[in-house]
Amino acid sequence: MPKIYATTNPAVTKREREHMALSRALAGECVVLLENDGVLPLRLPQKLALYGSCVRHTIKGGTGSGGVNTRDQVSVAQGLERAGFTITTKAWLDRQDLHYQEQRRDYFAWVDAYARENHYLREAVVFLHPFPVPPPVEITAEDLAASDTDTAVYLISRTSGEGSDRRNERGDYLLFSEELAQLRQLRDAYAKLIVVLNIGGVMDLKEMKEIPGINALLLMSQLGNVGGDVLGDVFTGTVNPSGKLTDTWAENYGDYPSSATFSRNDGNVDDEYYQEGIYVGYRYFDTFQVAPIYPFGYGKSYTTFSLQPAGVTVAGEMVHVCALVKNTGAHPGKEVVQLYVSAPPGRLQKPYQELLCFEKTKQLAPGEEVRIMLSFLSRQMASYSTADEAWVLEPGEYCLRLGSSSRDTQPAGVLTLDRSVKTEVLKRLFADPDPVQEMDAPLATCNPPDPTIPRIPLCAEDISTHTAVYQAERTVFPSARTEHLTVHDIRQGRCTAEELVAQLTVHEMAELCVGTMRAGEKSVVGNASDLVPGAAGDTSPVVWNSRGLRSLILADGPAGLRLQPVFKTDLEGNLLPGGGALGDAMVPFDAAYTEENSVTYYQYCTAIPIGWAIAQSWNLDLMEQIGFMIGMEMEVFGVDLWLAPALNIHRNPLCGRNFEYYSEDPVISGRAAAAITRGVQRHPGKGTTIKHFAGNSQEENRYFTNSHIGERALREIYLKGFEIAVRESQPLSIMTSYNLLNGIHAANSYDLLQALARDEWGFRGVVMTDWFTSQEQPFVERDHQPIYPISASTGCIFAGNDIQMPGCQQNVDDIVRAVQTGAPVDGYTVTLADLQQCAANVVRIIAQATEETEHLR
């Protein structure tokens, strides 16, 4: 019988209260102040005229598997009232509430009809078509007159999520026409107008910016359980917002270099050609001199800061840049110091500048000054040369730029290198039979730095060259041990995972490499666990009785643990149907289950800010604290691997899952993922699963889209964040993406999983597929017939993709047949050595991640 970690007491726990308080304390740093003419912070007592579609239904995060089922959340209306503000527009809010509920009733009626007509599960329809934010109801002259205040707050909310991309349309990337009209109406009616963005990704602000009289613009983002309280803290000045943008906000959607061809924009969702190459985000805008509305790294404060370079030194391969930061304003606050490099032009094209590293200051009192030291390895300035199959530092001048955004920097020093240096010698891994034609940059990408700026020589002899060693042909593990080996022997150091695996049968190994969902009755993505209700799935217990290897329990993220908040068992401890949740859909319990014949359990988790918001804090210590908090909840509920963090690149603002990804930049993405991983993995036996590996920038046709990306762009942009996370934090797991990468499914790519992650980066954990990668997908609308086949189960084993989730019997059967016959199955030949390597990786992580005394099956 499984051990049950959940509580039978429905009361709010001490852990819940403490974690919500911690989340509130941390989330204030995730808020970005975009505009402020001095109206913020507000002084109490204060009356507020509050308007917006979701003032009482504030969006806490994205939809799909990234959602978190929480006990409750604090709306903007609740948070502002709890902060001491008087809301004077409750009559309007009541009408908006009625409109919202009517829209939801209509939506669920449509869901039920659609599910019946198309033979879908109700949960599947909700997953594919989440409830959209409705437009606001009319604001009447009577509403304005009755509001009795000179200050209005207007909340703009948007949802986005897994399974579909956003659209460049009104009510999504663009403002509703009603929102635009109401902003003009409020501008004329009130002396002060504050606009708050409760959104999960970049949206068009051009029309709003053309309206004069908006006094403050605040990017609240989506902050989990406590969003309303956090906004109240920011409005009162209890918290000085210190977030900075992690994306470039364009004036026009067409300014993004991928806008014409992204996702459905060109009618082709089968092949996505990354024609912009390395020129993603600010690398494009700065290099091609396209002015954004808001640049990467930008964010205001209630105070002001001065930032001055204070010297550059070189010690071997390390470079140290010193900066002096002073609070020159009247409020305490924090500043983010950003260091960019402009590399010299040479054989390789270079972007104007690239982020090297960053540091957030402590809270500085007015007048207080602090010295910040930014340090990096000289090899971090290298570019990847496809011709050389190596990372290369070309000779010339490397201008170090210190600033508070990509458009507000000053030279701190110039590093000079007199000859070319290969920092890493690799091999070409990602050739594309249908190569993308990438854009060329202007000839001169960087103005020559002022000759008065200090020049500091780099010594080429001090920069080491690393040559990767790649795996030779896999060989079968020798079976020299005659005694019966168990996981206890591995933990005691009496045997290796390889020696134990050498004793397993082909069928046992195949089962071990496939998740436990066999019958197919649990088709809600992320709800296939037999051990922790609502968790995403479990690994196989096939050798629990014989070897002591229990199942790993995997729970979705990345905005917290997504579990079923309420579940029931019979008196024998067997799970009863009902209670399953995916977003707005909930399966009811049978009324026959009473207190006399069943037991009710509760497992409420903390919804943390979305990944995009967390990254906007630019605070790695904060991120590690969030990770530690999640790790604690993993201990509470018996979860081993958290299916997060997600760190795909914001290539285009319309990607449906940008809310859970961090940035357009790989450095902040990788360092954020590493910090959160360190926090989680401070809990022994708990681990993260960084995802989606790799080139996953589109949700439309996501199981079958082919991402065509040049190798340099892959390594410098789309893989770099994963590399940083692996090298800095060694996550226990990596999850592959659904898409093909240059013609090969990422889940089936040996070069991606073995040659790159393990051989080049030194990854030591386990690799798993995303859900339903190599089996029948339950959440695919067949209005489009893909031109590429499904990922192969046998290809996963060949590539070193150790666990296929959630698993089906066909996966097991295909693996066994391929190994036992030696014949190709679905295009892949799988050897016993291939299967043994995958099984050994699984065994090693189970031994590391589970307590021996736990008897969960």
pLDDT at position 632? 97
For residues 154-183, average pLDDT: 96
pLDDT at position 124? 80
pLDDT category of residue 447 using cuts at 50, 70 and 90: low
Is residue 268 classed exposed, middle or buried when 0-12, 13-18 and 19+ CB atoms within 10 A define those classes?
middle
pLDDT at position 449? 75
How many angstroms separate the Cα of 173 from the Cα of each of 137, 158, 166, 455, 635?
20, 9, 7, 45, 39
pLDDT at position 851? 58
Record the pTM: 0.96
Tell me which of 481-495, 586-600, 691-705, 800-814 is least confident. Answer: 586-600
Sole residue written with tokens 């910016």:
209
pLDDT tens digits for range 629-647: 999 999 999 999 999 999 9
pLDDT above 90 for 668 = yes
Higher pLDDT, 77 or 855: 77
Q: Which of 16, 189, 484 is nearest to 7 (CA)?
A: 16
Percentage, residues of the chain above pLDDT 70: 96
Helices and strands (H, E) in the chain, number of each type: 22, 32
pLDDT at position 527? 59
pLDDT above 60 for 790 = yes
pLDDT above 50 for 314 = yes
pLDDT category of residue 856 using cuts at 50, 70 and 90: very low
For residues 221-225, average pLDDT: 96
Is residue 324 within a helix (H) or strand (E), and if so which, with residue range?
strand 318-327
pLDDT tens digits for range 597-613: 999 999 999 999 999 99
Rounded mean pLDDT of the chain?
A: 94
Q: Identify the structural domains of the chain with CATH numbers, from first to last.
A: 31-241 (3.40.50.1700), 301-467 (2.60.40.10), 492-517+529-563+607-777+786-849 (3.20.20.300)
Whether omega for the bond prior to residue 119 falls within 30 degrees of 0, making it cis, is no
3-state secondary structure of 7: strand
pLDDT at position 528? 65
pLDDT at position 805? 96
Give Dmax (Cα) for the chain. Answer: 87
For residues 573-589, average pLDDT: 78
Q: Which of 91, 31, 10, 105 is nearest to 617 (CA)?
A: 31
pLDDT above 90 for 445 = no
